[in-house]
Amino acid sequence: MDPKQRQFSIWYMFIALWGLMLIQMFLPSFFNPTEIPYSEFKEAVAAGTVTEVSVSTHVIHGKMKDDKNFNTIRIEDPDLLRNLAQRQIKVTGVIESTLIRDLLSWIVPIALFFGVWWFLLRRMGQSQGFMTVGQSKAKIYMDKETKVTFADVAGVDEAKQELEEVIEFLKTPEKFSRLGGKIPKGILLVGPPGTGKTLLAKAVAGEASVPFFSISGSEFVEMFVGVGAARVRDLFEQAKGKAPCIIFIDELDALGKARGVGPMAHEEREQTLNQLLVEMDGFDSRVGVILMAATNRPEILDPALLRAGRFDRHVLVDRPDKPGRLAILKVHARNIILGNQADLETIAAMTPGFVGADLANLLNEAALLAVRRGKDTVGMAELQEAVERVVAGLEKRNRVLNKMEKERVAHHEVGHALVALAIPGMDAVHKISIIPRGIAALGYTMQLPTEDRFLMTYSELKNKIAVLLGGRAAEEVIYGEVSTGAQDDLRKATDIAKSMIKVYGMSEKLGQVSLERDRQPLFLQTMPSQTPADYSEQTSREIDCEIRELIDEQYARARGLIKTQEPLLRNAAQVLLGKETITGEELKALAASL
């Protein structure tokens, strides 16, 4: 159940409870006779309209001539019996028993309540295509048929190839067990978020047409001590009953973090992790249960998880390259109607670094734009705009900058572009804009790499820093002082400089050493590593100096480049202020005309 649905069901519960309270309040008055004051009762007796009464300890129940029932509270009244006898009214005594009524008034609402609850849960379960196993709050999901196939997963051919064998095994476990072949028990899918790890695991289940059990590591963290371990036991129990099948643990790192690491060793997590290890050792993969897990931070996993017989097979699910992106775009384009001139290949070329989820999002975004514009098909214009949206966050035309701010932003952005143009071999400037995007960016300069890059040289990294600092340098050249608008640029430039010196050994003074442990390769990087420094204070100071020197040097360079092109800068900024966006081509033409 995702949080939204959970909230939904809580609302239902409230409504049900409220309904029950209403019933409790009004139901009795439907069936019970009218209540009358004792005095009225006495008058009725005197008038002879009462035909019979039954007297119990607290209540007198009776019937009028017109067959109306009534109740009245019994009051100590010595004359009552005499009066009744005088009128020859039939009198019976009753030993009071409200047991049945009490029981009914409790049991019926409770039964009703659980009935409604059960019904809702079941309905929700159905609509999700999942069967929630165990208690209602169980977080194990089972999908009898995932209906996802390898055709739905694109751009990860190597990973698919490695998983072929697993599918083969799940289809005919007998064959493998007969031949005694060794089948991996645990397969760890490693890669950045959104690259399709979950999708891939589902596809394996779909291809082999076996059930798919899934659970997320992060959900264990909030549980009470002991519950997580029980759930793991439960999960394996269920899965063994349905073998052959796949168990998928998403976000394994949340639960499999190295034990005893972190500010506070998390007892619950450790128990859960231990239980997982026990279960993994306890079953023989020949029963046909394959465990798959996904993580983007394999380096923080407890080493015990990675030992032989556990998650010993690792499959890299990396960001897709250009052909991969094209293939993914094609998969998702099945759901939308593309115009004739829509060229997915160009889009694939524009989107290095995008993962599958981004690409799916991009096409969705483009389709929405087309609908909004009342078009029948999704055209190139929508696709391109969608790329920009995904790249830079949503367009926010309604943010109002005053005229001076706008001018400054224009000069700033042109500054980036001019430095990029002036340095040979830099990524081509695609477009410059002063339309604010997202929360942070007041404008942007978009450079498009001509190809995917996996290696960068020393001078390329320095060039990148120079381009990042070009914005601030332009502000200084034009206005004589800088502004806060360069915050993000500075952060990025500092990050690059830091990596150059600490990770890639690019500092002459510090030498060819990597001063940062556990650093993922650049293309896998998601978060800065948090291991404490293991170098001296002296080195630390030198690092700071080196970073500073590198940045200063590039800033001076950017400033110099811009200073020599000041007329172009002023000119281009004016054009940009008028048009809000200019392309790289237009900027080049402007440069040529000056």
- Cα separation, 488 vs 491, whole angstroms: 5
Within 8 A by CB and 6+ apart from 271, the residues are: 225, 226, 228, 229
Least distance from C-beta 231 to ligand ADP, angstroms?
A: 21
Residue 23: contacted member of Zn ion, ligand ADP, none (CB under 5 to 8 Å, by partner type): none
340 phi and psi angles, rounded to 5 deg: -60, -40
| Lookup result for tokens 């830091």 | 498
Residue 489: contacted member of Zn ion, ligand ADP, none (CB under 5 to 8 Å, by partner type): Zn ion
Residue 546 vs residues 238, 538, 551, 585: alpha-carbon distances, Å:
58, 12, 9, 37
- Cα separation, 208 vs 206, whole angstroms: 5
Least distance from C-beta 22 to ligand ADP, angstroms?
A: 44
Does position 352 bind ligand ADP by CB under 6 A?
no
Residue 318: contacted member of Zn ion, ligand ADP, none (CB under 5 to 8 Å, by partner type): none
- Cα separation, 165 vs 213, whole angstroms: 20
Residue 142: contacted member of Zn ion, ligand ADP, none (CB under 5 to 8 Å, by partner type): none
- Ordered DSSP codes for 130-147: -EE-SSTT---EEES---
**Residues in binding contact with ligand ADP, number by CB under 6 A:** 17
Does position 489 bind Zn ion by CB under 5 A?
yes
Residue 206: contacted member of Zn ion, ligand ADP, none (CB under 5 to 8 Å, by partner type): none
| Lookup result for tokens 């650093």 | 519
* Residue with the CB atom nearest ligand ADP in the bound state: 356
145 annotated active-site: no
Residue 256: contacted member of Zn ion, ligand ADP, none (CB under 5 to 8 Å, by partner type): none
Within 8 A by CB and 6+ apart from 556, the residues are: none
Tokens standing for residue 511: 């030498």
419 phi and psi angles, rounded to 5 deg: -65, -45
The piece of 189-197, 302-310, 370-378, 581-589 that touches ligand ADP (CB under 6 A) is 189-197
Does position 360 bind ligand ADP by CB under 6 A?
yes
Does position 475 bind Zn ion by CB under 5 A?
no
Interface pick for ligand ADP out of 245, 328, 348, 547 (rule CB under 6 A): 328
Interface pick for ligand ADP out of 173, 184, 186, 196 (rule CB under 6 A): 196
Site map (CB under 6 A) of ligand ADP, residues 102-131, x = contact: ------------------------------
Tokens standing for residue 136: 């209602």
Q: Which of 365, 382, 413, 516 is catalytic?
A: 413
Least distance from C-beta 198 to ligand ADP, angstroms?
A: 3
Count Cα atoms within 13 angstroms, Cβ side, for 223. 23
Interface pick for Zn ion out of 471, 474, 558, 562 (rule CB under 5 A): 471
Does position 153 bind ligand ADP by CB under 6 A?
yes
Q: What are the residues facing 165 on neighbouring strands?
A: none
The piece of 72-80, 192-200, 223-231, 387-395 that touches ligand ADP (CB under 6 A) is 192-200
Tokens standing for residue 54: 């039954």
- Other C-beta atoms closer than 10 Å to the C-beta of 513 total 13
Residue 324 vs residues 170, 345, 589: alpha-carbon distances, Å:
27, 11, 35
Q: Which of residues 468-497 bind ligand ADP (CB under 6 A)?
A: none
Does position 211 bind ligand ADP by CB under 6 A?
no
Count Cα atoms within 13 angstroms, Cβ side, for 468. 22
Q: Return the closest-CA partner of residue 130 out of 214, 53, 220.
A: 214
Does position 193 bind ligand ADP by CB under 6 A?
yes
> How close are the terminal C-alpha atoms of the chain, in Å?
63
Interface pick for ligand ADP out of 132, 146, 195, 238 (rule CB under 6 A): 195
Least distance from C-beta 138 to ligand ADP, angstroms?
A: 21
C-beta of residue 469 within 8 angstroms of C-beta of residue 418: no
Interface pick for ligand ADP out of 247, 294, 383, 442 (rule CB under 6 A): 294
* Enzyme catalytic residues: 413
Q: Which residues bind Zn ion (CB under 5 A)?
A: 471, 489
Residues that bind ligand ADP (CB under 6 A): 153-156, 193-199, 294, 328, 331, 356-357, 360
